[in-house]
Amino acid sequence: MPAYREHDITLASFAQIQQEMTAHSLTPGEFAVVRRVIHTTADFEFQSLVRFSAQPIEAAKVALAQGVPIITDVSMVAAGIGTVVRRTWQSSVTVAVQEVPKVIGPNQTRTAEGMLACVRSHPSAIIAIGNAPTALIALCDEVSAGQAKPALIIGAPVGFINVVESKQALAALSIPHIVVTGRKGGSAVAAAILNALMILAWEQA
């Protein structure tokens, strides 16, 4: 595959970030993911917040090469990956909140219901969640029940209510996943993680 060319300013930023990073135990792939998150946020605390489980980088490479679709919880995540998707794998991208069924279950949010509808249509998708902890909880329940087996889950919702709990639910799963622990995260962070994975897979294909 042709190299994914970064802008000179981005490369200069990456070089400065690399000089300042202290997380020396990361693999090269993990380093690339965390570096891009720091580039997006200017927050070096993400060095200790981003956790990798069950070989998610390898899982992403395989899934992207197979044309597996991508599901995001909200449109901001989809917007954040749009350029990289177009320049690399051209994966189909579905936004869960735009796929809400007419009837919503009791005590369930629109994003959670949309996520369930999407994952039931694409049970082996790559899923990136950067906003809605309820969508992540619903997804984890679906996986635990054996109703879905996503190729990869990126869990990076941000906020206070149910955020930490949703990430703990993801961390308990044995499927490939990347989770941003604690309260931090957000759509830009989820998009940065997925962008890094797509570029890594593209350049190593």
- Average the pLDDT over 84-89 and give the result: 98
Instruction: Clarify whether 39 is annotated catalytic.
Output: yes
Domains, the chain, with CATH or none? 49-204 (3.40.50.10230)
Largest CA distance in the chain: 52
Sign of the Cα torsion 106, 108, 113, 116 reads: negative
**Could you say which of 7, 39, 122, 177 is catalytic?**
39
Q: What is the CA radius of gyration of the chain?
A: 16
What pLDDT is stored for residue 24 in this prediction? 80
Nearest to 192 by CA among 63, 13, 1, 22: 13
Q: What are the pLDDT digits (tens) for 48-79?
A: 999 999 999 999 999 999 999 999 999 999 99
User: Cα dihedral angle (191, 193, 197, 198), rounded to 10 degrees?
Assistant: 10
Q: How far apart are CA 53 and CA 71, in angstroms?
A: 19
116-172 pLDDT per residue, tens: 999 999 999 999 999 999 999 999 999 999 999 999 999 999 999 999 999 999 999
Please report, for residues 2, 6, 48, 53, the alpha-carbon distance to residue 17 in angstroms, rounded to integers and kept in the order given.
Answer: 25, 15, 15, 24
Tens of pLDDT, residue by residue over 169-185, are 999 999 999 999 999 99
